[in-house]
Amino acid sequence: MHQTKNRFQKLPDYRYEQLRKGMFCGECGCLFSIIDHLDLVCRNCGKHEKSESAILRHTEEFKLLFPERKITTSGIHEWCNIDLAKRTISRTLKKNYRLVGSTSNTYFI
């Protein structure tokens, strides 16, 4: 059988740069606001979510959308585009993923 996978390499037709960055409510898809540094709230439907759970949800989404991109603290910080400390993101990633790579080029798997 011939391999025809190249035919579909143009799909899906979104690019990282085009997608809206931010943390979105899992219920209604509106942008979350931070009410204190560890709690997020949706101003539309009132849903609360802990930052750790929201970070994980957005990291999984990032993995799904961009399997070729490495997961880094800076990358997820940019993807979430919200006023969370990088160390909060870093702590969450460390807790839930495995850190690999050399010191100058680390990422999570």
Site residues, Zn ion (CB under 5 A): 25, 27-28, 30, 42, 44-45, 47
Which is closer to Zn ion, CB of 42 or CB of 80?
A: 42
CB 83 to Zn ion: min, Å: 18
With beta carbons less than 8 A apart as the criterion, state whether 25 and 44 touch. yes
CB 42 to Zn ion: min, Å: 3
CB 45 to Zn ion: min, Å: 3
CB 34 to Zn ion: min, Å: 14
Q: What angle do CA 85, 92, 25 make, to 5 degrees?
A: 75
Span between the terminal Cα atoms of the chain, in Å? 33
Which is closer to Zn ion, CB of 37 or CB of 43?
A: 43
Which is closer to Zn ion, CB of 42 or CB of 93?
A: 42
Q: 39-42 and 48-50 as β-strands: parallel, antiparallel, unpaired?
A: antiparallel
Which is closer to Zn ion, CB of 61 or CB of 101?
A: 61
Structure tokens at 52: 């750790």
Q: What is the signed CA dihedral for 102, 69, 65, 83, rounded to 10 degrees?
A: 70
